[in-house]
Structure 1
Amino acid sequence: MTNGRGGGVGLLIVIVVLGLTIGGLTGLLGAGGGILTVPALVYLVGIPVSSAVSTSLVLGAVGPLAALVPRLRGGVDWRMVLPVAGAGVVAAFGGTLVGALISDDALLLTFAVLMVASGVQMLRGRPRIEGVDRRPKLWALKGIAVGLLVGFLTGLLGIGGGFITVPALIFFLGMSMRLAIGTSLVIATINSLAGVVAHAGMSTPDWGLIIAFAIPAMVASFLTALLAKRVSNAFLQRAFAVMILIVAAVTVAQVLWA
């Protein structure tokens, strides 16, 4: 971990607690990695937004892996992964180029606006009972459209896109909350890897911080992924919406009163 930001045992404890918290939410809800990691690294750990973005992308590539293990059988719509993730990889590079032209505060406020829109939609929508009864017409084209949006946001904001991918998979592609979470984790991993490549040379991840953060995050995400199999889609959807609305409010407050 980089020196000069209050280091020592106290900082290590903060990072481990963040890893446990964010990993736990990722395992339970399929999001929480990027949407929480970037603000947490900026405001609690004290690193610049550019470094927080690149660090978050690396964490977004490795963090969901543990949460995927309990979902590999029956928890992922593998046919949907290709159109969404394929389009997302391409769009991540465009998002990265645009992000380089926008100020840190504008990026964080954009982040907050998108979280509010996503959270409100999740609260309004009715969760599906389970699984995918049938795919909508033109599902592959709709998957590509979703992928372009999520990939662009991944490059722009340094997120795996779970907070946008999960609602999009539910409302545009007819998935249940549980299946959308598993599918989103796969897509987030692929998009984050593309974002890491896109950001190469533009900013440097903090590898010490990544190690200290990722180990507790992966343990927590695996355990909460097991828990998620025991709770209802309705609970998961409401919890997802509440989480991102809280983060949006905190992000706006930090930008306006920093």
Structure 2
Amino acid sequence: MSVLLAVAALPCGLLIGLLLGALGGGGSVLAVPALVYLLGQSPHEATAGALIVVTVGAVTGLVCHARARRVHWAAGTALGVLGTAGSYLGSRWSAALPPGVLMAAFAALMLVVAAMLARRGLRERRTTDTPTESATGDVTGAPAATTPLRDPVRDDLIAEPVRVPEPVRDHPAPDPVRVPVKVSRVAATASAIGLLTGFFGVGGGFVVVPALTLVLGLEMPVAIGTSLLVVLINSLTALGTRAGTIALDWPLLAGFAACAALGSHLGPRLTARLRPQTLATAFACLVTVVAVVMAATAVPRL
């Protein structure tokens, strides 16, 4: 590996790891274009090498989130295991495609990822900006209104607020309704995630995080940490499928993966300093630019 390639690999791997650790997915889509256009890999070599980078970054980020207890091990393992069949098939189909078709399809995937990340940023911004109401109907954070009392003798205002007793309930409050989880929906989602991982060499975290929040009802921080477990299982399956079929530049990938591991370690700390919606929106713009450049390069060659 030349010094020029090593210098180019450092910032790319660091950025991918940062995004992977901070957002739980999406950063791996930059691995393939970085390996192809900056580091001189072929499309098939890049999709296989990206799996190594994603695997190392997922392990590092998963350890950080696990220490903070932001990983739902049962849900992550279930999604990962259910997606192994899709990951195996995706790896086989990817090897059979011409390089130009593979890169054009990857550019289309990046546009989808950018749209999903932008939508996620807008949704989180609306959730953050919307005022929440307390149990009494008052907006959270607003000062409580007080009703002045009049002394019947002095007819002066008394500063004490009126304390209205809470109504006595005859029956206990009903338990919140739980939305049933459809097994078929979870299996289909897991298979699609595995298919994306095996076919494109990406982790699929941009699909895993919405699936964990919408389908399984996990909170966003836990969904981000759990998605790394799903990414890890799918990436290992795809790597096992491609083992021995493609010659890889291991020194190059080792340096690239080491930078991704460092960035993934720092990613969870980045979420504490920056608003997740701001990070997701900025990353969506970056992915869009890269996707347009890839499409302009790959489509004329079809």
Given the two structures, how large is their TM-score scaled by the length of structure 1?
0.84
| 2:260 alignment counterpart | 217
Amino acid at match of 2:291: A
Contact 1:136 1:173 survives alignment (8 Å): no
CA deviation string 1:28-55 (max 9, x = no partner)? 2222443111111011111111111221
Question: CA separation in 1, counterparts of 2:216 and 2:118?
Answer: 18
Question: CA separation in 2, counterparts of 1:254 and 1:164?
Answer: 26
Amino acid at match of 1:75: R
Q: Give the root-mean-square deviation of aligned CA atoms.
A: 2.5
Contact 1:15 1:213 survives alignment (8 Å): yes
1:92 aligns with 2:72: no
1:168 aligns with 2:211: yes
Deviation at 1:239, TM superposition (A): 4.1
Question: CA separation in 2, counterparts of 1:235 and 1:185?
Answer: 21
Question: CA separation in 2, counterparts of 1:172 and 1:122?
Answer: 18
CA shift in 2, pair 1:167/1:252, >3 Å? farther
Equivalences, count: 249
Which has the larger share of helix? 1
Amino acid at match of 1:244: V
| 1:18 alignment counterpart | 12
Question: CA separation in 1, counterparts of 2:177 and 2:73?
Answer: 14
Look up the SS of the partner of 1:100 in the other structure: helix
CA shift in 2, pair 1:119/1:32, >3 Å? closer
Gaps of 5+ in 2: 129-175
Deviation at 1:23, TM superposition (A): 1.6
| 2:102 alignment counterpart | 107
Question: CA separation in 1, counterparts of 2:257 and 2:9?
Answer: 9
CA deviation string 1:214-238 (max 9, x = no partner)? 2222112211222213444433443
Post-superposition, which runs of at least 4 consecutive aligned residues in structure 1 deviate over 6 A?
none
The percent of aligned pairs where both chains have the same amino acid is 35
Deviation at 1:196, TM superposition (A): 0.5
Deviation at 1:97, TM superposition (A): 1.7
Given the two structures, how large is their TM-score scaled by the length of structure 2?
0.73
Question: CA separation in 2, counterparts of 1:95 and 1:67?
Answer: 25
Contact 2:24 2:225 survives alignment (8 Å): yes
CA shift in 2, pair 1:135/1:233, >3 Å? farther
The structure with the largest alpha-carbon Rg is 2
1:157 aligns with 2:152: no
Contact 1:109 1:252 survives alignment (8 Å): yes
Alignment of 1:247-258 (within 5 A): 247-256=290-299
| 1:4 alignment counterpart | none
| 2:160 alignment counterpart | none
Contact 1:89 1:191 survives alignment (8 Å): yes
Deviation at 1:173, TM superposition (A): 3.6
